[in-house]
């Protein structure tokens, strides 16, 4: 088997980047289960089939390409996700999926005929990592790892009432495949931050996920005429939500620079009519930090603001959903294996934390896992202008191929 | 012709209140051009026809019931609107339409056979006063008075892309009628404020509309990963919008109580995804005051805040739409006529300003106009719990009938 070349990767990358391309930009819009997602899946299936993979899909639409080197042996699984946020970059997730397919081919070429392989190889395109159309994010890997019931995922509807089951069914992307035993998992992704670029590091050895406290908040007021109602009579839910959004941002300044990230990305307002004071607003507030004590203090401060706003603006404010996790490490033996692969290739590398969640965050709870980063220019992400150079993409591919080869040859113990 | 009785009005009122009724409440949801609006229009047509009106509709779906007393003479027109905000009260607009129909019947009974009528009588149900589904508000009366081109109105789409033309066409509510000359216009409405209730006044003689400065503001930032992007790198459009919403509210406290009303009722966020910093938000901000100098000062202060937020949060903030008017009087001779009618009936009455706009705000620019209020309990409006007692509705009906009778008999000069 001949190794697949860098130029093949770049050609495939250009092809992949056409799906859901946003005219006049270098970005894409291919949310999970949309037509553009369906088209890229069919393209990816053809690519895999042409290169000798057996293509399968499971009941939540995760798409697999399998290369059997050792009949009956467990698999080294590697992948990421092809779906994107609305009007987003072409690298986020997609780079990892395509690099994984090429890494498998390279590892197979190296190991296939030597008899050195201990495990089989598979690439995966996880369904709906982004969670923009169907919540929650990381849906495919959450179902795979047993964290989210399949039925719940399939019945999840988008804003227009279309369910995951309907969207995937329409694309003929529902299957009944069950992935065989996974010996280990590897994923490569763009950093979505700018520390690696600033530090001149090509390969990020991801050693932990930041802690986070994610809140869904419901603010309840009372509908009123937004002109005629006396100000003192109003119970304006959108006003209360606005106060929480600004308070969440201003919280950041209470801590050392870089210790706390906060955001509200989504808000839903009822009735959202020009002349009506809103009666109900739900919003998502994220607090993220590597430090437990920072998350604790930030959350306590936000709770205090909630109580103040509730009293001052005569609103009912409830936290109706909450998800908290602490800084969460990746296995040290995986980092050591990845460091060795980077050193062999002469690539600069360093330990780096991820603020964003990835499918590997799920996978590391069920299999020995290696998580890798390549740099994002200026840290721009979830943006049409997201960019990673060809040079960095190819370095990452070479590195991932080295990691996958080691995983397939030597394996990785459960820590 | 026998006068129609109070009990008939209350029976018809109960029937009308069933259209778009929100289960478990006394409110309704019958936005312009929806199925519920279509149903109430058919019911109203039947009611009018049964009582001897000729029913017509014009090219923007305004619905008219005509009673010809003096062949060829101009018309006293009276009405309001049947459409509602989402999950709103059953009185707003609808009371005025039904009271107008009954007032015409009473006036016709009094004048019809005596030969005292100088003018004919007509009731109107203006299309889309609320503007919640199709913007702008007061659409039907704006087209009628030549303030909004018919084509613009018909091509206006709701959030799902359905145009006014399509919505009205589907309901068979588009016609080609042209209303004959209007000698004068009268409208009765619930106050949507609480001053009349507080002052013990049954009939409000509306003498002016508050001034207003309505702004559509666009805040432009840049999409980013709401977790991973460094805080200092973010340009968060939703954060900027939230700062403007809180600033608009806090402005009120810079002026004497009751001198300034402010609100943001509608906001649209892109991409509105859980893990994406918003790149674009549009929001509507209203400033309302009876005083020109207050509007001037409030707007100047808001402009200052816009500049500050723009700089501080690195956002582009533009006012992309603006509509300003000063306190706008209703004609004094109409107030005098209405005062006389109230005195004859022994009803408590007083001059009162309207903060909300009404179709009469349009009509008073083209015809001698009388605008009347009955009390709203606790000033609650645009709310399922909006309430006006039967007693006040019947007093308002008696008064409107008196006003319409005077208008038909004596006319009202253009001031």
State yes or no: pLDDT of B383 exceeds 90: yes
Q: What is the DSSP string of B133-151?
A: SSSSSSHHHHHHTTSS-HH
pLDDT at A109: 95
User: Do residues A127 and A82 make contact, with C-beta atoms less than 8 angstroms apart?
Assistant: no
Please state, as a whole number, how many other Cβ atoms lie within 10 Å of the Cβ of residue B284. 21
User: Which tokens belong to B226?
Assistant: 């709401």
Please state, as a whole number, how many other Cβ atoms lie within 10 Å of the Cβ of residue A146. 11
How wide is the angle at C-alpha A391 spanned by C-alphas A388 and A395, nearest 5°?
Answer: 100
The Cα–Cα gap between A51 and A3 comes to: 11
State whether A233 and B357 contact (CB < 8 Å).
no
The answer to whether residue B83 neighbours chain A at the CB level (below 8 Å) is no
Structural domains of chain A in order of their starting residue, each with its CATH number: 6-210+328-410 (3.40.630.10), 211-325 (3.30.70.360)
pLDDT at A113: 74
The Cα–Cα gap between A326 and B207 comes to: 63
User: Do residues A195 and A205 make contact, with C-beta atoms less than 8 angstroms apart?
Assistant: no
User: Which tokens belong to A369?
Assistant: 């896992």
- Mean pLDDT (whole number) for A304-313: 98
Q: Calculate the CA dihedral of residues A86, A87, A90, A96 and round it to 10 degrees.
A: -20
State whether B357 and A239 contact (CB < 8 Å).
no
**A246 chain-B contacts, CB cut-off 8 A:** 239, 242-243, 246
pLDDT at A104: 98
**Minimum Cα–Cα distance from A229: chain B residue:** B193
User: Do residues B304 and B323 make contact, with C-beta atoms less than 8 angstroms apart?
Assistant: no
- Report the phi/psi class of residue B288: left, alpha or beta, with left for phi > 0 and alpha for psi in -120 to 50: beta
Q: Which of B 299-328 lie inside 8 A of A, CB atoms?
A: none
pLDDT tens readout for residues B331-343: 999 999 999 999 9
pLDDT at A115: 85
Q: pLDDT confidence of B415, banded at 50, 70, 90?
A: confident
For testing contact with chain B, the best of A219, A236, A242, A262 (most B CBs within 10 A)? A242
Q: DSSP class of residue B87? A: T
**Which residues touch B310 (CB under 8 Å, ≥6 apart)?**
B240, B316, B317
Q: pLDDT confidence of A272, banded at 50, 70, 90?
A: very high
The Cα–Cα gap between A67 and A348 comes to: 30
pLDDT at B113: 74
Q: Which of B 184-243 lie inside 8 A of A, CB atoms?
A: 191-194, 210, 212, 222-233, 236, 238-239, 241-243
φ and ψ of A288, to 5 deg: -135, 140
Q: Which of B 140-169 lie inside 8 A of A, CB atoms?
A: none
User: Do residues A261 and A353 make contact, with C-beta atoms less than 8 angstroms apart?
Assistant: no
State yes or no: pLDDT of B198 exceeds 70: yes
| Longest distance between any two alpha carbons in chain B, whole Å | 82
Q: Which of B 339-358 lie inside 8 A of A, CB atoms?
A: 354-357
**B270 chain-A contacts, CB cut-off 8 A:** 86
**Which residues touch B260 (CB under 8 Å, ≥6 apart)?**
A231, B251, B252, B254, B287, B288, B289, B294, B295, B298
pLDDT at B1: 47
**Which residues touch B10 (CB under 8 Å, ≥6 apart)?**
B390, B393, B394
Q: Which has the closest alpha carbon to B237: B286, B309, B320, B299? A: B309
State whether B242 and A243 contact (CB < 8 Å).
yes
Nearest to B379 among A229, A278, A355 (CB): A229
Please tell me whether the overall predicted TM-score, pTM, comes out greater than 0.90 for this model. Answer: yes
pLDDT tens readout for residues A311-367: 999 999 999 999 999 999 999 999 999 999 999 999 999 999 999 999 999 999 999
Between strands B261-263 and A280-289, the pairing is unpaired
Q: pLDDT confidence of B2, banded at 50, 70, 90?
A: low
State yes or no: pLDDT of A2 exceeds 60: no
| Longest distance between any two alpha carbons in chain A, whole Å | 82
Buried b vs exposed e over B12-31: b needs ≥16 C-beta within 10 Å?
Answer: bbeebbebbebeeeebbbbb
The Cα–Cα gap between A38 and A167 comes to: 9
What is the radius of gyration, based on Cα positions, of chain A? 23
- Report the phi/psi class of residue B318: left, alpha or beta, with left for phi > 0 and alpha for psi in -120 to 50: beta
pLDDT tens readout for residues A158-209: 999 999 999 999 999 999 999 999 999 999 999 999 999 999 999 999 999 9
* Beta strands in B235-341, from DSSP E residues, in sequence order: 261-263, 267-270, 276-277, 280-289, 316-325, 328-329
The Cα–Cα gap between A44 and A34 comes to: 15
pLDDT tens readout for residues B126-146: 999 999 999 999 999 999 999
- Mean pLDDT (whole number) for A70-74: 96
How wide is the angle at C-alpha B144 spanned by C-alphas B143 and B150, nearest 5°?
Answer: 30
pLDDT at A384: 97
Q: How much is the mean pLDDT over chain B?
A: 97
**B262 chain-A contacts, CB cut-off 8 A:** 231
pLDDT at B112: 77
Q: What is the ipTM of this complex?
A: 0.94
User: Do residues B209 and B357 make contact, with C-beta atoms less than 8 angstroms apart?
Assistant: yes
pLDDT at B115: 85
Which segments of A27-128 does DSSP mark as H helices, in order? 35-50, 94-111
CA distances from B105 to A303, B53, B108, B315 (A): 60, 9, 5, 59
User: Which tokens belong to A328?
Assistant: 């969460």
**A130 chain-B contacts, CB cut-off 8 A:** 273, 275
The Cα–Cα gap between A407 and A293 comes to: 36
State yes or no: pLDDT of A117 exceeds 50: yes
Q: Is A43 exposed, middle or buried (0-12, 13-18, 19+ CB in 10 A)?
A: middle
Give the rounded percent of residues in chain B with a pLDDT score beyond 90. Answer: 98
State yes or no: pLDDT of A1 exceeds 70: no
User: Which tokens belong to B73?
Assistant: 């003479």
The Cα–Cα gap between A204 and B52 comes to: 83
């Amino acid at each position: 088997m001949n190794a697949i070349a860098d130029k093949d990767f770049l050609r495939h990358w250009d092809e992949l980047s056409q799906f859901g391309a946003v005219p006049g930009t270098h970005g894409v819009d291919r949310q999970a289960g949309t037509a553009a997602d369906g088209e890229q899946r069919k393209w990816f299936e053809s690519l895999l089939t042409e290169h000798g993979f057996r293509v399968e899909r499971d009941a939540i639409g995760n798409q697999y390409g399998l290369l059997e080197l050792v009949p009956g042996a467990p698999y080294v699984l590697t992948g990421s996700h092809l779906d994107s946020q609305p009007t987003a970059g072409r690298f986020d997730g997609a780079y990892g999926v395509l690099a994984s397919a090429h890494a498998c081919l390279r590892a197979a070429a190296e190991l296939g005929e030597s008899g050195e392989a201990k495990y089989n190889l598979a690439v995966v395109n996880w369904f709906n990592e982004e969670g923009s159309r169907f919540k929650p994010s990381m849906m495919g890997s959450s179902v795979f790892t047993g964290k989210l019931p399949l039925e719940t995922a399939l019945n999840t509807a988008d804003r227009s009432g279309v369910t995951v089951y309907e969207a995937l069914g329409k694309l003929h992307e529902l299957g009944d495949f069950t992935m065989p035993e996974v010996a280990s998992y590897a994923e490569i992704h763009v950093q979505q931050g700018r520390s690696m670029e600033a530090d001149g590091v090509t390969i990020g050895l991801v050693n932990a996920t930041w802690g986070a406290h994610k809140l869904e908040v419901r603010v309840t007021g009372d509908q009123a005429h937004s002109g005629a109602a006396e100000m003192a009579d109003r119970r304006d839910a959108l006003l209360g939500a606005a106060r929480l959004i600004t308070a969440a941002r201003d919280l950041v300044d209470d801590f050392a620079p870089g210790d706390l990230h906060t955001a509200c990305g989504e808000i839903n307002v009822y009735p959202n009519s020009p002349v009506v004071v809103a009666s109900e607003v739900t919003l998502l507030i994220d607090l993220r930090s590597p430090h437990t004590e920072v998350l604790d203090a930030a959350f306590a401060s936000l709770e205090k603001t909630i109580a103040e706003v509730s009293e001052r603006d005569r609103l009912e404010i409830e936290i109706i959903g909450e998800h908290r996790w602490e800084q969460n490490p990746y296995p040290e033996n995986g980092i050591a294996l990845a460091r060795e692969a980077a050193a062999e290739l002469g690539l600069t590398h360093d330990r780096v934390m991820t603020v964003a969640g990835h499918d590997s965050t799920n996978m590391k709870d069920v299999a020995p896992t290696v998580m890798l980063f390549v740099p994002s220019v200026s840290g721009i992400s979830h943006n049409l202008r997201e960019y990673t150079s060809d040079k960095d993409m190819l370095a990452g591919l070479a590195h991932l191929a080295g990691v996958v080869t080691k995983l397939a040859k030597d394996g990785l113990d459960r820590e």
